[in-house]
């Protein structure tokens, strides 16, 4: 459940060609590789280094055999809420969260138990999507 409503235009991933995606994509043989931020994009804190609080808005994401769950769900949050993305995946992927004022980008590895978190700062509706497969995982709707 992920939701964000904003008066600003939503930004998609389709035409981001300024830097190759593989520059931030880890390899399966290198378990210590993490995503490197692109200019103007914050990778945000990761639960691998920082544990979110118990009141976090949680979104469980599963990527298996080319299928993504959930897909297109709405997740509700309030300004100041921490959002925790819990990811189990059998493939490499990039998870993008198009929040304002800062976007978040996470390198998903082919493994279970990955956790990424960020705090929502502005009201609005924001896409959470997988960049490589183009799947809209959720829409985060943030209310004041």
- Residue 95 belongs to what domain range? 42-143
> Which 8-state DSSP code applies to residue 56?
-
Beta pairing partners, 87: 61, 114
**What would the pLDDT profile of 37-72 be if each residue is shown by its tens digit?**
334 443 443 333 344 457 899 999 999 999 999 999
Please count the residues of the chain: 144
Instruction: Assess if residue 20 is contained within a domain.
Output: no
Q: Angle 11-103-87 (CA atoms, 0-180°, nearest 5)? A: 105
Residue 113 maps to which CATH number?
2.60.40.420
Query: Is residue 76 domain-resident?
Result: yes
Please check whether residue 30 lies inside any domain of the structure.
no
pLDDT in tens, 62-119: 999 999 999 999 999 999 999 999 999 999 999 999 999 999 999 999 999 999 999 9
Q: Which letter does DSSP use for residue 37 in this model?
A: P
Instruction: Give the residue from 49, 59, 60 showing the smallest Cα distance to 4.
Output: 59
* pLDDT for 123: 96
């Amino acid at each position: 459940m992920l939701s964000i409503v904003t008066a600003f235009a939503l930004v998609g991933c389709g035409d981001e060609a300024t830097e190759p995606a593989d520059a931030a994509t880890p390899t399966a043989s290198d378990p210590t590789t993490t995503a490197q931020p692109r200019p103007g994009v914050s990778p945000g804190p990761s639960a691998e280094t920082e544990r979110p609080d118990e009141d976090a808005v949680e979104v469980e994401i599963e990527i298996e055999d080319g299928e993504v769950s959930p897909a297109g769900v709405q997740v509700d949050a309030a300004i100041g809420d921490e959002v925790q993305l819990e990811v189990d995946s059998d493939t490499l992927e990039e998870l993008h969260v198009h929040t304002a004022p800062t976007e978040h980008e996470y390198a998903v590895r082919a493994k279970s138990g990955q956790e990424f978190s960020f705090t929502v700062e502005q009201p609005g509706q924001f896409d959470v999507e997988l960049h490589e497969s183009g799947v809209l995982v959720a829409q985060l709707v943030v209310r004041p």
